[in-house]
Amino acid sequence: MEVAIEKLNRLGLNRDDYKGAHTTLCAGCGHNSITNHIVKALYDSAIEPHLLAKMSGIGCSSKAAAYFVEHAHGFNGAHGRMPSLATGAKLANRDLVVFGVSGDGDTASIGLGQYCHMIRRNLDMTYVIENNGVYGLTKGQSSATADLGSRPKRGPANRYEQIDISALAIELGASFVARSFSGDGKQLVPLLQAALAHRGTAVIDVISPCVTFNDHEGSTKSYAYVKDHDAPVNTPDYIAPQGEITVDYEPGTVQDVELHDSSHILLRKIGPEHDARDRMAAMRLLFEARQSGEIVTGLLYVSPEADDLCTREGLPTRPLAQLPIEELRPSREQWDALMAGLA
Amino acid sequence: MTGDVLNDFCVQAATVNGSGSQSSNLVITKALFHMGIPVAAKNVFPSNIEGEPTWYDIRVTPQGYQARKRTVDILIAMNPATWERDAANVRSGGAVIHEAALPRFSAADRDDVSWYPVPFARLAREKLEAKPDLRKYLQNMIYVGVLAELIGLDPAAVEQGVRDQFRTKPKAADLNLAAVQIGVDYTRENLVKTDPFRVAPMDGTRGTVLLDGNRAAALGSLMAGCTVLAWYPITPSSSLCEAFIDYAERSRVDVATGERRFAAIQAEDELAAIGIVLGAEWAGARAMTATSGPGISLMAELTGLGYYAEIPAVIFDIQRAGPSTGLPTRTMQGDLGFVHTLSHGDTRHPVLLPGTVIEVYEDAQRAFDVADRLQTPVFVLSDLDLGMNLWRTEPLPYTESAIDRGKVLDAKALEQVTDWARYRDVDGDGIPYRTLPGTANPRAAYFTRGSGHDEHALYTEDPDVYQANMDRLRRKIEGARTLLPAPLVEEAGTRVAICAYGSTHHAVVEARHQLADRGVETDYLRIRGLPLHPGVAEFIARHDRVYVTEQNRDGQMEALLRQELPGELADRLRSIRHFNGVPIDAEAISDPVLAGELAQREPADHQGVTSRRGPVG
């Protein structure tokens, strides 16, 4: 029986309770690995399934929202429009844990405008981009995150500059920006947990190789290329609220960031010195990595103090969707005064 | 010759926009209202901030007509750029108050109008103790005094009008009153009245208020419990959203905590505005957006999502003249056909067609109930004329009645249901039961999608399942026919009728009187919503000729009627179309109806007088 108890999280749910429908993505797809990491993160963080709102747009990545936490409401909306749908959902019910899964086409092309404005407003949600540099469902066109010179499966090399969605997020004032790799669960799961704890838009740009259309020689988003060029800047450990910090570390080797809910993310430094609270440093890191052809991963920037959208709007703690009509109508006296003023 | 025409004329102020003339015109409008004289105001303004011509028509009628009048009786000419044309438009026997320094031109030689030159600029410069930048505005207030003295506006009513206009700025009110007085004094000392127009107090505004449709829509939304507004600024709908924010700031902010029981998001575009609305409605809040034609075009995509995924939404379309950017500050009923089936694939959306300010208020509230009841986006079609102009209306009644949130299952209700499926038609009305995110019951969850789905909201491409679902959606929207208001019918048993909808109503009221005066009695059918109520076809069946009157080029309502009605009834329709961007006037209706009816009496001669399909008037 002890084994069974071990498998239950704080809510008394086991990991299977966080699973969803069977995936219809290709065998070996990076997105399926990410789904597994999401399941683990939601389970470890003991997110209440009924309070989870799974949001997605359109594309292979956006299908994935159906593949975790079956007992949560989900909304597979329209291509590039997930940020606005998520904004409305969170405004209506701020108790919801809004969790979005998007792709590089969904985010960096058709939905770039909504992506920018979601970040600008610091909507409290986790926004995972399953970034493979290619349109899968329409069979292999390059996306806007494909690197200049990267070769698609068919046709000439990509002639255009890539849009760096992590750098763009930092530029726009994002309060939590991380990059990771679908094959690195050890890094991604704590990043997801920290993103869930963060109050504000938490962008996680996850390089996720497309085994069918973008895993060949000459592609800079292939499994082999990413594995070769992955340059982690830190390794995160997530410590739940009231959790005890048991990780041993040498002084000066770990950055400890306290998140809004008093959980912590410990960033063990590897590679170049990087302060994840320093926005300029994060930009420099990304630009330098791009120059050297490396894919820098880890928590790039975090600002736990930034106010989220609902705070900026001054919303009550009770969800707007649950306010009774009596609290929403003007009083009879207010009304009469208003009408008298129109005469 | 004075005193011949009492309380029945139209004043047009032709000014330059950005010069403060709007305040002057509102003061005149309110002064007339305070004298108990029914007044109707039409602002015909440019898409511009400063320096372009703008016209403001103030009409008084003892009958209380609220439509635009085609003829100008008194012109206040303040704009050198348009004054020649403006003066030429004044009817014979009319009057022109004008800046004395305006250059002379041939039309000014007209001897069939009364000329009242006033040196406004000089008076402002010499008599007003104000900074030069303020003088520009106050100069226009001087014409209020000139007009007041010429037509006999009650000074107390004028003062009340000024105080209304500058309610929060008593110092500005005093300064403006001084400007009015300069106009009054100048007129007394220098002008001799030779025109026949004057006003006298009457009892025609008791129990009414002056209100524009956009504010009525905002108040209706507030009353309906709308908590999320998402919008992108666009003329002529912005004032609706700004009014909602204004009223919500006044009534929804907790004094103690500062908490705001609403969210108003100025979105990045209309794609996001409707997205935020659908997201909020999906999560259980009442949400709305307001826009105009160009915004509707952008909302086409997600309106289809709302229809197919069955999410309520309320969309106000304050129509302006299209296509494309069109005439952003001019009115039109040009979105009717587009909105009703907005988005790709087979769609159909309930559309409410308010014709008066009070109906805008009622329909705003109704739209939320219908959207919740049918779980679908609902449009309220207003227009620039109804939305932005001031209308005389009875005060909006306070709403006591409960709201209808439709078929929503909460955690407790779900326990009573053994086999819930999101898109199953349980009651035979095509309307399924929904749950909201956050419902604490593991069976509440479902996966909303804009892709093909079965009863359980699971993805499917099965032909039979797809077709059955689309059939159910059709049945569901069919239910709107009797859920939306029945047409307004005024029937005395004649065989000739006028059919209209929306703001065209006011010109019809007047046109029917004009026709009756000329021996043509008409019945009246005013359509209040789409899909059509069964009462529409029944009414048409009782008439031989029905003149469908609307403010667009292509006769969009007439086309919808022809599509739905059996051929025998469709043959009874005639079409009257007005589409120059300014609000329709009564003659635009009575002239073609009269011509059509005269032709009917002389059958041999009727060819080409009213074509059945072509535009008339």
From the first residue on, what is the mean pLDDT of each consecutive set of 10 residues in chain A (343 residues)? 67 96 94 97 98 96 95 97 98 98 97 98 98 92 93 91 97 97 96 98 96 93 93 94 74 88 92 92 95 94 97 98 98 96 83
Contact of A23 with A67, CB cutoff 8 Å? yes
Strand partners, B546: B497, B573
CATH architecture of A2-340: 3-Layer(aba) Sandwich (3.40)
A142-152 residue pLDDT tens: 999 999 999 98
Query: Mapping DSSP to helix (H, G, I), strand (E, B) and coil, where does residue B466 land?
Result: helix
Q: Which residues contact B142 (CB under 8 A, 6 or more apart)?
A: B118, B120, B123, B124, B179, B180, B182, B183, B186
Is residue B557 scored above 90 in pLDDT? yes
B133-174 residue pLDDT tens: 888 889 999 999 999 999 999 999 999 999 999 999 999 999
Q: What is the mean pLDDT of residues B198-218?
A: 97
Among B225, B254, B282, beta carbon nearest to A325: B225
Question: What ranges do the domains of chain B cover?
Answer: 5-198, 211-393, 411-482, 488-605
Q: Which amino acid is at B285?
A: A
Look at B283 and A339 and tell me if their CB atoms are within 8 Å: no
Strand partners, B59: B10, B40
Question: What pLDDT score was predicted for residue A270?
Answer: 86
Question: What pLDDT score was predicted for residue B129?
Answer: 84
Average pLDDT, chain B: 95
Q: In what order do the strands lie in the sheet with A201-207?
A: A230-232, A295-302, A176-181, A201-207, A125-131, A97-103, A52-56, A73-76, B447-449
Contact of B352 with B379, CB cutoff 8 Å? yes
Strands (E), B342-495: 351-352, 377-383, 391-393, 447-449, 488-490
Look at A87 and B275 and tell me if their CB atoms are within 8 Å: yes
User: The pTM is what?
Assistant: 0.96
Residue B611's Cα: distance from chain center in Å?
29
Calculate the dihedral angle through the C-alpha atoms of B246, B250, B253, B255, rounding to the nearest 10 degrees. 150
Q: Which amino acid is at B369?
A: D
Look at A76 and B282 and tell me if their CB atoms are within 8 Å: no
Q: Does B207 touch chain A (CB under 8 A)?
A: no
Question: What ranges do the domains of chain A cover?
Answer: 2-340
**How does residue B105 score in pLDDT terms, banded at 50, 70 and 90?**
low
Distance CA B437, CA B453 (A): 19
According to CATH, the topology of domain B488-605 is Rossmann fold (3.40.50)
Question: What pLDDT score was predicted for residue A103?
Answer: 97
The chain A residue lying nearest B448, using CA atoms, is A75
Kindly report the backbone phi and psi dihedral angles of residue B60, in degrees, each rounded to the nearest multiple of 5, phi listed first: -115, 135
Chain A hits for B436, Cβ within 8 Å: 73, 93, 321
Q: Does B96 touch chain A (CB under 8 A)?
A: no
Domains B5-198 and B211-393 share a fold: no
Question: What pLDDT score was predicted for residue B135?
Answer: 87
Q: B59 is written with which tokens?
A: 């009409």
Among A85, A329, A335, beta carbon nearest to B279: A85
CATH code for the domain defined by B211-393: 3.40.50.970
State the distance between the two ends of chain B, measured CA to CA, in whole angstroms: 35
Look at A117 and B267 and tell me if their CB atoms are within 8 Å: yes
Question: What pLDDT score was predicted for residue B51?
Answer: 87
Q: Please name the residues between 439 and 478 in chain B that touch chain A, using a CB distance below 8 Å.
A: 439-442, 444-451, 458-459
Query: Mapping DSSP to helix (H, G, I), strand (E, B) and coil, where does residue A76 land?
Result: strand
Question: What pLDDT score was predicted for residue B18?
Answer: 86
Chain B hits for A327, Cβ within 8 Å: 261
Q: Does B250 touch chain A (CB under 8 A)?
A: yes
Question: What pLDDT score was predicted for residue B604?
Answer: 53
B503-538 residue pLDDT tens: 999 999 999 999 999 999 999 999 999 999 999 999
- In total, the C-beta contacts within 8 angstroms joining chain A to chain B are 224
Look at B254 and A93 and tell me if their CB atoms are within 8 Å: no
B245-294 residue pLDDT tens: 999 999 999 999 999 999 999 999 999 999 999 999 999 999 999 999 99
State the distance between the two ends of chain A, measured CA to CA, in whole angstroms: 76
Chain B hits for A86, Cβ within 8 Å: 279
Provide the pairing of β-strand B545-550 with B496-501.
parallel
Q: Which amino acid is at B311?
A: I
ipTM entry: 0.97
Question: What pLDDT score was predicted for residue B613?
Answer: 39
Contact of B157 with B202, CB cutoff 8 Å? no
Higher-scoring residue by pLDDT: B1, A286: A286
Q: Which CATH class is domain B5-198?
A: alpha beta
